[in-house]
A and B are shown apart, each in its own frame.
Chain A
Amino acid sequence: MIIPIISGPLRRQAYLICLSRIPKISSVLRTAKVRPGTYAGELISNLHDGVFHRSVELKSDYTNYYASEYATFGEYASKRFLFNNEVARQLAALHSHSQVIYYFNPTYCFLEEDYGRDFLERLFDSRLPK
């Protein structure tokens, strides 16, 4: 599941990407139907890196660093990141069903609003938590 949020003082578009497993880059390139080593291939590879290597993974961040400070994952989400109650509630519900939850701040400007969410869902959402 992909949850769009507005993040930070500049109110930038961000996403919480909740997946049952981390997709391999080869799998994402196949899903996108792009060839490795091409412009489109590099674009999707960079996006994969941006999500799975340069974003905070909230479940491990909570377990490793914040579990002693916040009693629940929902509390961590709302107090550490100031997510609103609805988002914190959604995250708390998804916590046990998702293997990973990435807090992704996109650098590609086309990943905005409905188009951006749809784009990410087309790449990653076949791995929705059950």
Chain B
Amino acid sequence: MRIRTGFVSNSSSTSFLIISKKALNKADFFNLMGISANSPIASLFAGFYEAVVDNIDREIDFSNVSEHFAIENLPGMRRGRFSDRMLEKLRKAKTDGLRAYYGTLDSETSMIQTFFCTDSFEVENEKIYFNGLECVW
């Protein structure tokens, strides 16, 4: 038997879903998060924004998809593991012709990405919906 006396920690990853009226941009992202661009701590959310943009696996512009397009068949999504809430958000995004972005944050990168990867939150305003609650794909 081996006994480990030091630190043991797991790496972590979490998925995110963003739905927006127009192409994702930093100004709208900052407004959603509630921080001014000239904040003395803006670098934290700039790092978060960059991590999100760098880790988007797929972008879907629902204004360009057929009405027969099935949300459940989107690449990268494992059927049956979505919350009803997320599916409903995606169905509504399709109905409204919005854009959706999804991807995964990783805890083994920067400290900033690690923090947001391990936090759990859902925020929404009139332009963007951000779901960072669930690890579903």
Contact = CB atoms under 8 A, between A and B. Distances in A.
B39 interface: yes
A80 interface: no
Interface residues of A, number: 20
A38 B7 CA distance: 34
Contacts of B123: 38-39
A27 interface: no
A119 B114 CA distance: 17
A10 B9 CA distance: 13
A39 B33 CA distance: 5
A115 interface: yes
Contact of B36 (A33, A109, A115, A122): A33
Given A108-B115, A110-B111, A40 B40 contact: no
B111 A40 contact: no
B40 A110 contact: no
Interface string A51-72: 0000000000000000000000
Interface string A86-109: 000000000000000000000011
13 contacts: A32-B39, A34-B35, A34-B41, A38-B32, A38-B34, A38-B35, A39-B32, A39-B121, A40-B34, A41-B34, A109-B115, A112-B111, A122-B41
Given A34-B34, A109-B114, 16 more contacts: A31-B40, A32-B39, A33-B42, A35-B34, A35-B35, A38-B32, A38-B33, A38-B34, A39-B33, A39-B34, A40-B34, A40-B45, A44-B41, A110-B112, A110-B115, A123-B41
